[in-house]
């Protein structure tokens, strides 16, 4: 069901979880930059249980960097990312694909940044890759020129992830229950373990595993787009060793990887603690991506 009133000023809902910043957004906040330097569209996939108000802070940061870009943000719950099937996740991302890519023509004119936050954001970013193919053909990959991975991906080994997944879901649902947080986390641990056993029984691939795999397949996620990994050694939900391990796999598959480590920042808290470093890394890598595109055409 389409939401008719946006929870964030300046955004228009195109589904109950996808919001677009109006095309006529005020661009007077910063001097206009040459069009070739700006992305045409930026898609921010928020962290699990992130509110529109909080995820919109990242859209605001992008708007200051690229005032002419259309910006979409995707809001998702951690629990849905875990239990939904791939088909359900694809269906949830089809409105996004229809808004950004109504046809498969003139894709060369689009310059896209994908920004995934935490594992939930990565799971729905991967669903958007599949949704694009669902609409426009299995032989086409969603075009993008920079992929930003903020506090993601984590380990794809269930035994090492279940404790952190249960804590993440508990953080998003603790307000629903009167008992201590640890009780909520233990309940979710049991639920996640049951989901894991069910998936094994029916032969369904776990969402975290599926999303990591999608971003390693050239036919789904173009190797043309550099991967910028934003992470911290003090992230208590996504360990830095897992981010670096996943980045190493991506590099071995032919993807350009850039590692941006932040000091003492929590999970998806790098922008809040280190805004200059955060937005500087994004802008510098976008410029490098544009320069790479220009060199490939000469």
pLDDT averaged per 10 residues, the chain (length 298): 65 95 51 66 95 95 95 93 92 96 80 96 97 93 96 79 73 77 81 77 85 94 96 93 95 97 96 98 94 62
What's the confidence (pLDDT) of residue 231? 98
Residue written as tokens 């426009």? 136
Measured CA to CA, the distance from residue 74 to residue 76 in angstroms comes to: 7
Measured CA to CA, the distance from residue 138 to residue 206 in angstroms comes to: 21
- Identify the DSSP state of 28: T
Does residue 143 contact residue 289 with C-beta atoms inside 8 Å? no
Structure tokens at 283: 């802008």
Residue written as tokens 């193919």? 133
What's the confidence (pLDDT) of residue 113? 97
What's the confidence (pLDDT) of residue 158? 64
What's the confidence (pLDDT) of residue 178? 80
Q: What is the CATH number of domain 11-156+211-296?
A: 3.40.50.1820
What's the confidence (pLDDT) of residue 294? 59
Structure tokens at 192: 């996640």
- Identify the DSSP state of 176: G
What's the confidence (pLDDT) of residue 29? 44
Measured CA to CA, the distance from residue 69 to residue 147 in angstroms comes to: 16
What's the full length of the chain, in residues? Answer: 298
* pTM for the model: 0.87
Return the domain boundaries, the chain.
Answer: 11-156+211-296, 158-205
Structure tokens at 49: 């249980």
Residue written as tokens 């890519």? 101
What's the confidence (pLDDT) of residue 43? 98
């Amino acid at each position: 069901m389409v939401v008719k009133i946006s929870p964030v000023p300046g955004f228009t809902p195109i589904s109950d979880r996808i919001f677009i910043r109006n095309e006529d957004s005020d661009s007077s906040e910063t001097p206009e930059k040459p069009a070739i330097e700006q992305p045409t569209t930026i898609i921010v996939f928020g962290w699990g249980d992130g509110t529109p108000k909080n995820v919109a802070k990242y859209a605001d940061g992008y708007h200051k960097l690229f005032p002419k870009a259309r910006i979409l943000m995707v809001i998702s719950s951690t629990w849905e990312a875990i239990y939904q099937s791939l088909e359900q996740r694809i269906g949830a991302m089809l409105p996004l694909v229809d808004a950004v890519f109504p046809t498969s023509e003139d894709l060369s004119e689009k310059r896209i940044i994908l920004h995934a936050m935490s594992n939930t954001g990565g799971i729905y970013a991967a669903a958007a890759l599949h949704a694009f193919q669902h609409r426009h053909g299995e032989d086409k990959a969603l075009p993008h020129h920079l992929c930003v991975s903020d506090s993601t991906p984590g380990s794809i080994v269930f035994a090492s992830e279940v404790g952190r997944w249960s804590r993440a879901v508990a953080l998003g649902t603790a307000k629903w229950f009167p008992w201590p947080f640890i009780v909520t986390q233990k309940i979710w641990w049991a639920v996640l373990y049951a989901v894991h056993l069910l998936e094994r029984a029916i032969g369904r691939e776990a969402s975290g595993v599926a999303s990591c795999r999608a971003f390693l397949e050239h036919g789904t996620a173009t190797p043309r787009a550099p991967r910028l990994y934003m992470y911290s050694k003090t992230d208590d939900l996504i360990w830095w060793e897992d981010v670096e391990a996943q980045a190493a796999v991506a590099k071995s598959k032919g993807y350009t990887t850039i590692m941006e480590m932040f000091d003492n920042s929590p999970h998806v808290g790098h922008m809040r603690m280190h805004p200059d470093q955060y937005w500087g890394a994004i802008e510098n890598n976008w410029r490098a991506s544009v320069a790479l595109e220009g060199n490939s055409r000469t």
